[in-house]
A and B are shown apart, each in its own frame.
Chain A
Amino acid sequence: MLGRADNSLTSSFLSGVGKTMAATDEVYLGYTTDEATTPFLRDFLDALAEGTLMKSVCTECGREYLPPREHCQDDLSKCELEEFEEREAKLYSYTIVDFAPETLSSKAPYVVGIGEFPSGLRLTAHITNLMSVPEIGMDMKLAFDEVDERLVTYKWLV
């Protein structure tokens, strides 16, 4: 289990995590790229703004995707968005990014984690409330961050 305090951590790491928690910067899910927002992605982001995470389900074969995609990888049929209700996950892998790409330099260090839900679906997001070095397999909860009234992103809490 994850200890709540770890003396081996530097104070700069802890303060850095605090910075990551204050998620108000310009870099956000689906908003940093030049890729145009599609109606499908717009629906996903609108649902997220209401605090609902959507997965996608293939209308032909039923395969599920997280993060969602508009076309099924297997048969290229259209997928439909459905509410994703799982919240508990285990940490599959992580990294603490000390040296960040230029756009995110002010937020470093921040922690990126891949969580695995009991259903087997995985999700990649920031872990934002760590008090010590993460441990593979530890329990995490999915949570949401409201950036403004139109912009919400998902994140991991331990």
Chain B
Amino acid sequence: MQSSSLRLPSLMCRNLDIRKMRFSMMARKVGVVAAGHAKFGKRLDATMRELSAEAYKPIYDAGITQDMIDATVLSYAASQFSGQGAGSALIADYLGLHEKPHLRVESACTTGTASLRAAWGMVSAGLYDTMLVLGVEQMNRVSSAKATEYMSQAGDMRWEYPYGISFPAFYALMASRYMAEYDLPHEVLSKISVKSHHYGAQNPYAHLPRTVTVEEAHNSVPITRPLNLYDCSLISDGAAAIVIAAEEKAKEFTDEPMWIKGIGAGASSMMIQDRESLTSIPGAKSAAKAAYDMAGVGPEDIDMAQVHDCFTIAELIAYEDLGFAEPGKGRELIENKEVYHDGSIPVNCDGGLKSKGHPLGATGVSMVYEIYSQMRGEAREPSRQIDDVQIGLAHNVGQSGQFVNVFILERGW
């Protein structure tokens, strides 16, 4: 970043904002031009390969055949689930992407957006014109306890994992601290779950498409107290795919591209005990700032957001990390229903990870899919279609914040 701007002749730099120049002169504009989604759920009828085909098929049907794709990123988060190593080769072959260069990017639950970040770099730099980004995960072929164990291995294997700190436990540690510092009752978290299920019930791709009441959510069985069953996202199988293209090429595919306007990425300390605060995710705040800066917009410009609600507390913290609410005030957004589809900042009106499901590698791509379809007015049900989406934000968090990607996406028509 620094070195590339240093290479520019000093005369050119004198009266120009270096940051703006970096993106306007050195990167091609890139847009999403097609998207596909597999049904999320307990998909014992499929494995990684079949789910991948299900996500690519709508894109193929829209006319983007394999020969039109220059290269791919085909990713899943955890090889423990499938036992398949280097699986992008298998997926590429299964999808008929013969002799197209492919690779796998892995970063826990942000695998999908990390794949998009990598692909964006290659397209914007001019290495390729058109790329397929596909995220997939098959998690239900092992027991929930086994899946929990595989995910726990994303903690520090020497100092955290031996204490049985599962993935929900990391977020429960954040929840305990948040609830104590801000005197937050658990019922507020339950209200986030109620919203997620309200919208998941209207999403044909959702894993658990049914509604829940505050009482049911609040009184459900404990998982990692203070979090209970309805605070936790689902162990899901699924896949999602998008095609991105450079501006010149995008016009060949669609008159309605969605531009990638801002990309921010961040990281937080490996051990959760080492963070100065547990009431926010440091990497998410820095990722959001970077994305807003690159896009030249602020939280007030966002028409809809897809946030990483692997747990209800994660969604609440996201409201604050993304600047939609002041620290400690996120609860007002859910209590006043501002995060519903007709509120001031709609969040996760597809059911979120909570109700739609959280197939690790597919999640980030699915977030971008949802923004693309909302922008095009294709949310199907008027009761969840967000009005006139110009700018959408996707916020994808990996592990307990060790990886974060934030994308700002703009309607191109």
A-to-B contact residues, CB < 8 Å: 27-35, 41, 67, 92-105, 107-110, 112, 114, 122-126, 133, 135-137
Contacts and interface: CB of A to CB of B under 8 A. Distances in A.
B62 interface: no
12 contacts: A92-B177, A94-B176, A95-B175, A97-B166, A97-B224, A101-B145, A101-B148, A105-B145, A112-B164, A124-B159, A124-B165, A136-B181
Interface of B: 143-146, 148-149, 152, 157-166, 168-169, 172-177, 180-181, 221-227, 271-274, 278
Contacts of B227: 95
A124 B224 contact: no
Q: Which 6 A-B pairs have the closest CB atoms?
A: A95-B172, A101-B149, A136-B180, A104-B164, A102-B145, A96-B225
Q: Dominant SS at the B interface?
A: helix
B176 A98 contact: no
A30 B146 contact: no
A155 to B, nearest CB: 9
Contacts of A98: 221-225
A132 to B, nearest CB: 12
Contact of A103 (B143, B149, B176): B149
Contacts, number: 116
Nearest to B152: A101
The listed residue with most A CB atoms (<10 A of its CB), out of B163, B174, B226, B274, is B163
Nearest to B274: A122
Contacts of A92: 177, 273, 278
B148 A99 contact: yes
B251 to A, nearest CB: 49
A33 B161 contact: yes
Contacts of B145: 99-102, 105
A100 B163 contact: no
Contacts of A123: 273
Given A98-B222, A124-B271, A136-B180, A93 B173 contact: yes
Contacts of B223: 98-99
Given A97-B169, A98-B224, A122-B273, A31 B162 contact: yes
Contacts of A30: 158, 162
Given A28-B162, A126-B163, 17 more contacts: A29-B159, A32-B157, A32-B161, A93-B278, A94-B173, A95-B165, A95-B176, A95-B227, A96-B172, A97-B224, A99-B144, A101-B152, A112-B165, A122-B273, A124-B165, A124-B272, A135-B180
B275 to A, nearest CB: 10
A46 to B, nearest CB: 16
B273 A114 contact: yes
Nearest to A41: B158
A64 B271 CA distance: 15
Contacts of B146: 102
A138 to B, nearest CB: 11
A136 to B, nearest CB: 4
